[in-house]
Structure 1
Amino acid sequence: MTRRIPLPRTLLAVCLLGAALAAPARQASPDTGYLAAEALPDGVALVPPPPAPGSAEEARDQAHMQAALALRDRPRFAQARPDADLDFPQAAALFECALGVPVDAQRTPATLRLLQRSLVDAARSTRGAKQKYQRPRPFLANGAPTCTPEEEASLRDSGSYPSGHAAIGWAWALTLAAAAPERGDALLARGREFGDSRVVCNVHWRSDVEQGQALGTATFLRLLAEPAFRADLEAATTELAARRRNAR
C-alpha cells in the first residue's frame, strides 16, 4: 500500500505561511560551508542509481506522486511553496515552529550561522550524484504544474536525483535537534515533512527525497568532526536555551 502524504497540522501550516508572508526582503546568505571539498560525503559512492524504468521502486515513486498530485488545491500544496525558498532571511523561519523560538541574526546568531553554512555543505553533497544520473524531474513526465512555476525553466536542466532540498532540510533537522534536544521529535518530524514538500511541489520523486535525506545524514556526521561547526552548535545550544527561558 502506498503511504499517503499527510496533511500538516493546521497550526503548523498557519505558522509557516505566516512566517513566509512576514519575512523581510531577501539578503544574500554566506556561500562558505564548514566542510572542505575533500571532507564532503561522496554522493556518487553513497547513493545507489535511481529506480530503473519498470521496476517496483519506480512504480512506488509513481504511486506516491499520484497521491501528492491530489493535494494540489489543499493547504499542503500551499505549504510546499515556502518550503522551496532557501533564501535568507526567509529560510530562517522554516523550522521556527518546530524549534519553538524565532531565529535571527540579533538574538540567535550562532543558530542562524549553522543554518546558513550547513545549507552549503548539504547542497554540495548531492551535486556529484545529480550530475551523474541527470534524472528528469516529475513535472516533465506528468505535465502537471509545480508549486514554483517561476523556477520550472531552470529545473528542467537540473537533475532530480537526489534532492538537494531534502538533504538540506534533513541536515537542518538533525543539527537543530542536537542544539535543542527537547524539541527533537518536532524538529525531526518537520525535517521529514520538509522533504515531503518536494514531492507535493511536483519537483522530486519520493526516492529523490529519501536519498537526499541519506546524504543530509552523512553531511551532519561529517560536520560533527569540524571544530567550527561544533563551536557554533555549542553556542546555538546556549542561545536557544536562553531564548526559551526569556519567552516564559
Structure 2
Amino acid sequence: MRNFVAVLAFLTFGAVFTAHAADEAKPFITAKDVDLSQYLPAPPADDSAQTKAEIAELLAIQAKRTPEQEKAAIADAQENVWRFADVMGPGFDAAKLPKLAAFFDRVVATEDVVDDHAKKYFHRSRPYMVSEELHPLLKKSTSGSWPSGHSTIGYLMATVLGDMVPEKRNALFTRAAGYAENRLVAGFHYRSDTVMSRTGAALMAQKMFEQPEFTREYDAAKAELQAEMAK
C-alpha cells in the first residue's frame, strides 16, 4: 500500500478541460469514505493571535506582489491537472491524453465533495472577510477557508502524477507548493489553510488507491501518459 500520508507529512514538516466536465465527473470517493472533519484540527479563531499574524502576512504579500505574480495566481485559479504542464512537458495535453483527462476530472470531483464537507463543517472565514484591507485578485467566495480546496487538489494531483511518473515527483510537489502559494498571492487563503491541505490530499490519495475502480482507471491513464512521454 502506498503510504501517502507519511510522504506528505514529511513534506509538511521538512489545452484545458472545462469546469463543466469536472462537475459532471463521478467522484472516486466521498466524505463518507474520508471525513476530514474527523482528521483535521479546528482552525484558529478569527480573533486569534495566529489569524492576526496570518492576516499581516497576507497584507505584506499583497503590498509586494508584482504583475507577473498576480497573473500566475489568477491562472492557477484553474483546478485541473494541465496546470502541471510546465513540469510534465509539451506532450502533456488534454487532446493527446483523453483517458488521463477523464481520470483527473474524477480526481478533481473527488476533492471537491470531500473538501466541501470539511469547509462547511469548520466554516472558517476567508481572509478578506476578516480584513477589509485585503483585496483578492479573484471573484470572492463565501465558502469556508479551511482547508484550501485549490491547495488540496494541487497536492492530490502531484501525488497521483508523481506515482505515475516517479522521476518527476519532486518537481511535481514543488509545483504543487507554488500552486498553493498562489492562493496567498490571490488573497484567498491563510497559509495554515494551505498547509492543512497536505494532510487532506494525503488521506484522499490513500483511500482512492484502495478502490478497484480507481486502480483500473489509473492504470489506463498511466499507460496512456507513459506512451505519450516515450514519443
Normalised by the size of structure 2, how large is the TM-score?
0.83
Q: Is the 8 A contact 1:103 1:112 kept in 2?
A: no
Deviation at 1:60, TM superposition (A): 4.2
- Give the distance between the partners of 2:29 and 2:170, measured in 1 at CA: 27
What corresponds to 1:34 in structure 2?
28
Pairwise CA distance, 1:138: 1.1
Give the secondary-structure state (helix, strand or coil) at the position aligned to 2:230: helix
1:128 deviates by: 2.4
Does residue 97 (structure 1) correspond to residue 86 (structure 2)? The answer is: yes
Deviations 1:154-212 (A, max 9, x none): x1x31111111111111111011111111111111111111111111101111111112
| Post-superposition offset of 1:27 | 6.2
Taking only aligned residues, the RMSD between alpha carbons, in angstroms, comes to 2.2
Matched, 1:117 2:106: yes
Which of 104, 112, 123 in structure 2 is aligned with 1:134? 123
After superposition, the Cα gap between the structure-2 partners of 1:231 and 1:214, relative to the gap in structure 1 and judged at 3 Å, is same
Q: In the alignment, what sits opposite 1:175?
A: 160
Tell me how far 1:53 sits from its aligned partner.
Answer: 4.7
Where does residue 5 of structure 1 map in the other structure? none
Question: How has the CA–CA distance of structure 1 residues 175 and 25 changed in structure 2, closer, same or farther, with 3 Å as cutoff?
Answer: closer
1:57 aligns with 2:50: yes
- Structure 2 distance, partners of 1:25, 1:168, is 15
1:211 and 2:196 are equivalent in the alignment: yes
Residues 1-248 of structure 1: matches in 2 within 5 Å?
23=15, 26=18, 28-29=20-21, 30-39=24-33, 41-53=34-46, 55-86=48-79, 91-143=80-132, 144-148=134-138, 151-152=139-140, 155=141, 157-246=142-231
Distance 2:195 2:29 in 1: 22
The change in CA–CA distance for 1:99 and 1:25 in structure 2 (over 3 A counts) is closer
Does the 8 A contact of 2:184 with 2:190 survive in 1? yes
Identical-residue share of aligned pairs (%): 26
Q: 1:168 to 1:92 in 2, by over 3 A?
A: closer
Cα deviation for residue 25 of structure 1 reads: 8.3
Asked whether the equivalents of residues 103 and 218 of structure 2 are also in contact (C-alpha less than 8 Å), the reply is yes
Q: Which has the higher contact order (CA 8 A, sep 6+)?
A: 2
